[in-house]
């Protein structure tokens, strides 16, 4: 049985997110309104949904693989993490994008702007120690 997740659409004229194929692990997030992103700037694109992420999960929001090539947009922070308590009436998921092109880019209402993936998480406790392992692998990038 598939778990049910509470979701609210801001603009009911846009469809609920869907998993496009049986093999899809992510669902597409659609732009609620047309948004213009000036060259070399960061903007927020409203994603039209508020999601109550189940406890024990996070919702990862990532770029669609075609977005950088087709639109010239990237998430400046790599990906977004939606906590399970970010689900109030004002907590619409917004997609942060950076326009790396030399011209302004428009994201149209209803356009697929990102994808969401639910990921099971664990919270662990810290155990502070005075020393770590004696054998070090080396510094940053040491395995290349």
The structural domain count of the chain equals: 1
Does a structural domain hold residue 34?
A: yes
Model confidence over 61-84: pLDDT tens digits?
999 988 989 999 999 988 999 999
Domain that holds residue 107: 7-15+24-120
CATH of the domain at 115: 2.70.40.10
Q: Cα(26)–Cα(33) distance, rounded to whole angstroms? A: 22
Which burial class, exposed, middle or buried, applies to 109 when counting CB atoms under 10 A from its CB (0-12, 13-18, 19+)? middle
Per-residue confidence (pLDDT) for residue 138, from 0 to 100? 65
């Amino acid at each position: 049985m598939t778990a049910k997740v509470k979701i609210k659409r801001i603009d009911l004229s846009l469809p609920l997110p869907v998993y496009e194929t049986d093999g899809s692990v992510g669902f597409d997030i659609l732009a609620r309104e047309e948004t213009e992103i000036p060259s070399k700037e960061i903007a927020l694109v409203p994603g039209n949904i508020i999601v109550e992420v189940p406890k024990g999960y996070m919702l990862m929001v990532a770029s669609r693989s075609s977005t950088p090539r087709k639109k010239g947009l990237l998430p400046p922070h790599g990906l977004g993490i939606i906590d399970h308590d970010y689900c109030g009436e004002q907590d619409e998921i917004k997609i942060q994008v950076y326009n790396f092109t030399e011209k302004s880019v428009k994201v149209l209402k209803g356009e697929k702007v990102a994808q969401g993936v639910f990921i099971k998480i664990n919270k662990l406790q810290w155990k502070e120690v005075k020393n770590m392992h004696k054998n070090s692998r080396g510094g940053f990038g040491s395995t290349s």
